[in-house]
C-alpha cells in the first residue's frame, strides 16, 4: 500500500470510528474509490454540465466513486485562449471549484495539443505562418499564463498530448513543422518554469503500439537527459473489444516505468461495438451505419458479458502493477456522456464506460468493489 494511501486509510478509519461508523470502509455504501483508493487514484473526466453541478445524477456518482477528476474540454487551448490577447477561464475555474469543494485530486488537460488548438496560434495578422521565434513566444505565453492561473490547484498537467505516431516518429503537426522535435522539451521547460511544484506528464493514445512505445521511451530519455521534469506518462486507454492486446499494453506500462516515470491510465473507455471499418463487403452507407451502430436500444447480454470480462481483465492488470500506476481515469462518468457516441459517426449508441445510462455501476465495477471489500476486511 502506498504511503499516501495508508495515511488516507487511517484518517478515514479514525473519522468513521469517531462518528461511531464502521471501523473500515467495507460497508454496503463502499464506492470504487474506497475499494481501490489504497492502490491508485481512481478518476473520471467531467464535462461542463457535471463540473457546474447541473448533471446531478453524474455528480452523485463522482462523489461516491471517484477521488480524481480531469476536465474533458474546458482547459484545452481553444477553450481558455480563444485569441492571442484573450484568456477565458470561467468554465475551468468552475471545474476547479467543484474539485476543491469535493476534495478531488485534479489534473490539467492539456497545455499543448495539435487538436482543439486555435487557428491564430500559427499565423500572423496577415495570415502567414509565424516564425519559430514567434511560435516559441506564443507557447511560452500560453503555458506561463495557464499554468500560473491554476498554480497550487492541480496535481499535474498533461503538458503535451498526442505528439508521437504509430511508427515512433513525431506527428507532423504545426508545432513540429515550425519548431521540429524541440517543441516538446520547450513545453516541458516552460511548464516547469511557470509552476515548479506541479507534476508534468506526456499523454498519448495507442500506447500498446510498439513503434509509439519506443518513441515515447526515447522522448522520456531526451527530457531526462536535458534535466527536464517529467513525472509520468499518460496511457489514454481508449480501447475496443479487439484492441489493444493486453500483453502489449502491459509491455508498454513496464517500458515506461523502467525509465523512472509513473504510469497513468488517463482516458479509459472500451467501445462495446464491433470495430467497424469500411471493407469491401460494406459498400453502401446504410449498411456501414448499421455496422457502426448495431445496438441502438441496448447492449445484448452476450456482448455485455464479454465487455465486462475484458474490462475486469484490464483493471486487474492495473491493480497488478499498482506500484507503478498512479491513477486510473475513465473518460467520462456514464455511457451517455461518452465521446464514443459521436465517433466515428454521430448519433450512435455505445456502452464504453464504468457506469450505465441509469448511472448504475457496470457488473465488473461491482465485482471490483466486492473483491476489495473482502480483501480489506
Ligand atoms: O462546446 C461546443 C458547443 O458550444 C457547440 O454547440 C458544439 C457544436 O458541436 O460543440 C461543442 O464543442 C465540442 C466539445 O467536444 C464539447 O462538447 C466540440 O465540437 C467537440 O469537438 C469536442 O470533442 C471533444 C474531443 O476531445 C475534441 O477533439 C470530446 O468531447 C472529448 O472527449 C475528446 O477528448 C479527447 C482528449 O481530449 C484527448 N484524447 C482523445 C480524446 C477523444 O478524442
Give the model's pLDDT for residue 16.
43
Give the model's pLDDT for residue 132.
98
Paired strand residues for 201: 158, 232
Distance 20 CA to ligand 1 centre (A): 46
Map 53-121 to HEC letters. CCCHHHHHHHHHHCCEEEECCCCCHHHHCCECCECCCHHHHHHHHHHHHCCCEEEEEEEEECCCCCHHH
Is there a contact between 267 and 236 (Cβ–Cβ < 8 Å)? Answer: yes
Distance 22 CA to ligand 1 centre (A): 42
Paired strand residues for 233: 202, 263
Q: What angle do CA 218, 245, 112 make, to 5 degrees?
A: 40
Q: Is the peptide bond before 187 cis (omega within 30 degrees of 0)?
A: no
Distance 76 CA to ligand 1 centre (A): 10
Residue nearest to atom 15 of ligand 1 (CA): 73
Question: How is residue 252 annotated by DSSP?
Answer: H
Q: Which atom of ligand 1 is nearest to the CA of 205?
A: 39
Q: How far apart are CA 124 and CA 245, in angstroms?
A: 45
Distance 74 CA to ligand 1 centre (A): 9
Q: Which CATH superfamily is domain 31-375 in?
A: Glycosidases (3.20.20.80)
H/E stretch holding 256 reads: helix 246-257
Q: How far apart are CA 44 and CA 170, in angstroms?
A: 28
Tens digits of pLDDT across the chain (377 residues): 455 455 544 554 444 444 444 344 444 568 999 999 999 999 999 999 999 999 999 999 999 999 999 999 999 999 999 999 999 999 999 999 999 999 999 999 999 999 999 999 999 999 999 999 999 999 999 999 999 999 999 999 999 999 999 999 999 999 999 999 999 999 999 999 999 999 999 999 999 999 999 999 999 999 999 999 999 999 999 999 999 999 999 999 999 999 999 999 999 999 999 886 554 454 566 667 777 889 999 999 999 999 999 999 999 999 999 999 999 999 999 999 999 998 877 788 999 999 999 999 999 999 999 998 866 66
Q: How far apart are CA 115 and CA 161, in angstroms?
A: 9
Residue nearest to atom 16 of ligand 1 (CA): 73
In the chain, domain spans: 1-30, 31-375
Phi and psi torsions of 189, nearest 5°: -65, -50
Residue nearest to atom 12 of ligand 1 (CA): 73
Residue of 305, 188, 324 whose CA lies nearest to 253: 324
Q: Using CB atoms within 10 A of its CB, is residue 251 exposed (0-12), middle (13-18) or buried (19+)?
A: middle
Q: Tell how strand 156-161 and strand 232-235 pair up.
A: unpaired
Is there a contact between 253 and 273 (Cβ–Cβ < 8 Å)? Answer: no
CB atoms within 10 A of CB 128: 9
CB atoms within 10 A of CB 358: 9
Is there a contact between 154 and 107 (Cβ–Cβ < 8 Å)? Answer: yes
Distances (CA, A) of 233 to 38, 159, 352: 21, 10, 23
Q: Is the peptide bond before 305 cis (omega within 30 degrees of 0)?
A: no
Substitution candidate for ligand 1 out of 54, 55, 72 with most atoms within 8 A of CB: 72
Catalytic positions are 162, 267
**Which residues have CB under 6 Å of ligand 1?**
72-73, 115-116, 161, 205, 236, 267, 339
Residue nearest to atom 21 of ligand 1 (CA): 116
Amino acid at each position: 500500500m502506498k504511503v499516501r494511501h495508508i495515511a488516507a486509510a487511517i484518517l478515514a478509519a479514525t473519522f468513521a470510528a469517531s462518528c461511531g461508523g464502521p471501523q473500515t470502509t467495507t460497508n454496503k455504501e463502499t464506492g470504487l474509490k474506497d475499494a481501490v483508493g489504497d492502490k491508485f487514484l481512481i478518476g473520471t473526466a467531467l464535462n461542463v454540465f457535471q463540473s457546474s453541478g447541473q448533471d446531478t445524477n453524474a455528480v452523485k456518482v463522482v462523489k461516491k466513486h471517484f477521488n480524481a477528476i480531469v476536465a474533458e474540454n474546458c482547459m484545452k487551448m481553444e477553450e481558455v485562449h480563444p485569441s492571442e490577447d484573450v484568456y477565458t477561464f470561467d468554465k475551468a475555474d468552475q471545474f476547479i471549484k467543484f474539485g476543491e469543494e469535493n476534495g478531488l485530486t485534479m489534473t490539467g488537460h492539456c497545455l499543448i495539443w495539435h487538436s482543439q488548438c486555435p487557428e491564430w496560434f500559427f499565423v500572423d495578422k496577415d495570415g502567414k505562418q509565424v516564425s519559430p521565434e514567434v511560435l516559441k513566444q506564443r507557447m511560452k505565453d500560453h503555458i506561463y499564463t495557464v499554468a500560473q492561473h491554476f498554480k497550487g490547484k492541480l496535481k499535474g498537467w498533461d503538458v503535451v498530448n498526442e505528439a508521437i505516431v504509430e511508427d515512433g516518429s513525431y506527428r507532423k503537426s504545426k508545432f513540429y513543422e515550425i519548431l521540429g522535435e524541440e517543441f516538446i522539451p520547450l513545453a516541458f521547460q516552460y511548464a516547469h518554469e511557470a509552476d515548479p511544484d506541479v507534476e508534468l506528464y506526456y499523454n498519448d493514445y495507442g500506447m500498446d503500439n510498439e513503434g509509439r512505445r519506443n518513441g515515447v521511451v526515447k522522448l522520456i530519455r531526451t527530457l531526462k537527459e536535458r534535466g527536464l521534469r517529467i513525472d509520468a506518462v499518460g496511457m489514454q486507454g481508449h480501447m475496443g473489444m479487439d484492441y489493444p492486446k493486453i500483453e502489449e499494453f502491459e509491455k508498454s506500462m513496464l517500458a515506461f516505468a523502467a525509465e523512472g516515470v509513473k504510469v497513468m491510465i488517463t482516458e479509459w473507455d472500451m467501445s462495446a461495438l464491433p470495430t467497424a471499418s469500411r471493407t469491401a463487403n460494406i459498400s453502401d452507407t446504410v449498411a456501414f451505419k448499421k455496422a457502426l451502430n448495431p445496438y441502438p436500444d441496448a447492449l445484448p447480454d452476450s456482448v455485455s458479458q464479454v465487455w465486462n470480462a475484458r474490462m475486469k481483465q484490464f483493471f486487474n492488470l492495473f491493480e497488478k502493477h499498482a506500484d507503478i500506476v498512479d491513477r486510473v481515469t475513465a473518460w467520462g462518468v456514464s455511457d451517455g456522456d461518452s465521446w464514443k457516441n459521436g465517433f466515428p459517426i454521430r448519433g450512435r449508441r455505445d456502452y464504453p464506460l464504468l457506469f450505465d445510462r441509469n448511472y448504475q455501476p457496470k457488473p465488473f465495477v461491482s465485482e471490483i468493489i466486492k473483491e476489495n471489500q473482502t480483501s480489506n476486511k
